[in-house]
Structure 1
Amino acid sequence: MALDPVTLAIVAGTFLLAGLVKGVIGLGLPTVSLALLTATMGLPQAMALLLVPSFVTNVWQALVGGNFRAITMRIWPFLVMATVTVWIGALALTRLDVSILSAMLGCLLIVYAVVNLAGIRIAVPARHEVWAGPVIGATNGVLTGMTGSFVVPGVMFLQAIGLPRDMLVQAMGMLFALSTLALAIALGGSGLLSADLGWTSALAVVPAIGGMMLGQAVRGRLSETMFRRVFFIGILLMGLYIVAGAL
């Protein structure tokens, strides 16, 4: 799949915007890029294109914070299951109508946006983490393979176990980095990761990093609360658009 100049410009603009969002609020690069590229190019292509920028930026996030060992010791069953089950979901990409999977992605984006806009917080007591982690991790992995979205219910679980903010941000980076790596392997094994898409994904790191640096530079000049609200409203509208288009 050779990408024309207009498509390349769309990809670059998408990752610049996604990187800016991540630079301001610390999350959103995979979600923004996946939503916009699915709406313009289709789900399998969007999943392939987000791989390298998502992996690079989230490895960065996963290694910064000084809590890597503590986080790993606490949530490793969740992370393992969220990683090893991605291939199961990816099997659906070659067996189900892509419009069904696109609609599922739209629904996940809607749930993610509504939960955050409504301020819904779910608590998982420490005594339940031992079984909830692997179950939710497996669910997140299968959904990642089917839709390319890493956030539902994985991020909700990380929030529900009460991680402090810095640990939460680092744990999300760990989840996203591992999920991206597993998704790359699964897409490659299914023949959905072409050389053109791979190179374009690698080149998209440049606007993604540029956007992150820009977002970090303007962070102090913006109301993070208002920016997050606008971000989740945008994700909600994009989810609705993807569902409507798929149906």
Structure 2
Amino acid sequence: MIELSIPLVAATAATFFAAGIVKGVTGMGLPTVAMGVLGALISPLAAASLLIVPSFVTNLWQLLAGPGFGCLLRRLWPMMLAIAVGTALGSSWLAGGDTRSATLALGAALLVYSGYALLARPLSVPQRLEPWLSPVIGLTTGMVTGGTGVFVIPAVPYLQALGLGKDELVQALGLSFTVSTVALAAGLGARGMFQPDTLALSALAVLPALAGMWAGRAIRDRISPPLFRRGLLICLLLLGAEMILRSLP
């Protein structure tokens, strides 16, 4: 699937270090940044395969660091189950080998996410709507995850609209991203999309990702996270637009 070379290994390490910095500063963004950059260098399917191990390790760390895992799981399990189902269904598209369509979908996901995050006002979801809205959001998120490797739309805006506390929100994001990662790995693995060299490179990417997270936490004390986030979103917006234009006939 991936022809290993020194430039590719170097690019992968640099990408995951940068993505780790973003996650360390903002608490999220590693899969989005990694897919956005690597998806411009290699196929989205190959980029998603490289994402699996570092994303799982960093998101599991984020999930287990919070105080209320049991309560969150009882509240959000319908959404998590729907994410798993949607990802399993959507991964057939990513694994189908249509590189142009996958690149177009990835660019669109980056464009929608960054545009929404830059322009939209915060939403609020009444708790009475959660029982039926959570599975719908989860299924949609899973389909987007399976088709593009990006975990954030529409799960992140939805979780932010639930009125969770700061620590609860960070842990809820970790839960959603962990489920998405495991489901994506299962979906791609069931279709024979993993190869030993891919898994080896994905495992090696954990080190720069963790180093980036450590650096990001140090940077967070020195710059404004909102300013950093806005700059990142603008970069993702431009990257998504470039991917869309590149994939058009």
Q: Read off the aligned partner of 1:130 and give its amino acid letter.
A: P
Separation of aligned partners in 1, 2:122 and 2:194: 37
Inter-CA distance 96–122: structure 2 relative to 1 (3 Å threshold): farther
Q: Read off the aligned partner of 2:11 and give its amino acid letter.
A: I
1:138, distance to aligned residue in structure 2 (A)? 0.8
Provide runs of 4+ in structure 1 moved above 6 Å: none
Secondary structure in 2 matching 1:85: helix
Match of 2:88 in 1: 87
Match of 1:68 in 2: 69
Match of 2:132 in 1: 131
Separation of aligned partners in 2, 1:16 and 1:206: 8
Separation of aligned partners in 2, 1:122 and 1:165: 16
Separation of aligned partners in 2, 1:108 and 1:94: 17
Matches within 5 A, 1:138-217: 138-217=139-218
Inter-CA distance 95–5: structure 2 relative to 1 (3 Å threshold): closer
1:37 partnered with 2:47: no
Q: Read off the aligned partner of 2:132 and give its amino acid letter.
A: W
Larger mean CA deviation between 137-146 and 51-60 belongs to: 137-146
TM-score by length of 2: 0.96
Structure 2 unpaired stretches of 5+: none
Match of 2:60 in 1: 59
Cα deviation code 1:105-133 (max 9, x no counterpart) = 11111111111111422222111110000
TM-score by length of 1: 0.96
Match of 1:104 in 2: 105
Cα deviation code 1:52-73 (max 9, x no counterpart) = 0000000000111201111111
Structure 1 unpaired stretches of 5+: none
Q: Read off the aligned partner of 2:133 and give its amino acid letter.
A: A
Separation of aligned partners in 1, 2:66 and 2:88: 30
Q: Read off the aligned partner of 1:245 and give its amino acid letter.
A: R
Match of 2:246 in 1: 245
Q: CA RMSD of the aligned region, Å?
A: 1.2
Cα deviation code 1:196-245 (max 9, x no counterpart) = 11110000000000011111112111111210110111111111111111
Please say if residues 12 and 38 of structure 2, whose CA atoms lie closer than 8 Å, have aligned partners that are also in contact: yes
Inter-CA distance 194–77: structure 2 relative to 1 (3 Å threshold): same
Match of 2:223 in 1: 222
Separation of aligned partners in 2, 1:186 and 1:58: 18
Separation of aligned partners in 2, 1:96 and 1:136: 27
Question: How many matched pairs?
Answer: 247
Match of 1:9 in 2: 10
Q: Percent identity?
A: 44
Larger mean CA deviation between 42-51 and 103-112 belongs to: 103-112
Separation of aligned partners in 2, 1:94 and 1:171: 28
